[in-house]
Structure 1
């Protein structure tokens, strides 16, 4: 399979606890930078894809997040600054950010992968565009897979990974098939 791009959620996937942490205070997991570098080394585009409703509250700016994602060497970042109560098309689980990336980079979303820790947002967004879905057990991943499984019961992840590095290794192996 020729994987064109990987979308990566931020909070709970790259680092943090799953809760909002301002970019100036955010710490990626020890393996996250290496995981993203593996994708780059294998010529797979990487895109951050994150809901950040605290931007709409004035607690951070889009620029704060863009600078953070540039420091991780993402090819681009797709950030929803709206709250879940806003009627936007970009707040996951809606597919707006994925569709925007597809249009901007001429991606076939069926040849992309979404790595995230929340079934009811990340996995549902990926499913809605037929992207491959990897749920990581960091952040909200374990509880998403267990006590909150009912919120996305009709969807099966393509892979459940221990963390981002495990997910990336699976993507690389899948890409070789």
Structure 2
């Protein structure tokens, strides 16, 4: 039984997607320094009309960092069911690319922002492209696992990084 229900119409919410992008081999996390606000954050951004969530996460990460990434398969538990025709007797350890978290912000005008967070894979030795979207005010920076947790500006980002590290280290 549901204890709370919430209805929000399309003119009162925004959907965003981002990644916690990790270079597993080098144990590094990709963060962006947002110059206008002097904060170190995870890359994310708004979904375009008709775009799926996964594509948004990849596009926004690439636009804000200049690094290409892809969604990393993982076995973190999720509530999303396995399609019936693919459901094994026991689903433990089955790999997928479902989001590892969803975050909700509520702006002062009541508009809600839902952010779907994906586990991303990227190569810290790659040279970032110069194709970053015009007007982006970010500097991409790689940090060791421990340093990324310590240096991220917001507690929610630190928790996301910790969760991602836990998933790739398990």
Higher strand share: 2
State which structure, 1 or 2, has the greater radius of gyration over its C-alpha atoms. Answer: 2
Higher helix share: 1
Mark yes or no: TM-score above 0.5: no
TM-score (norm 2): 0.27
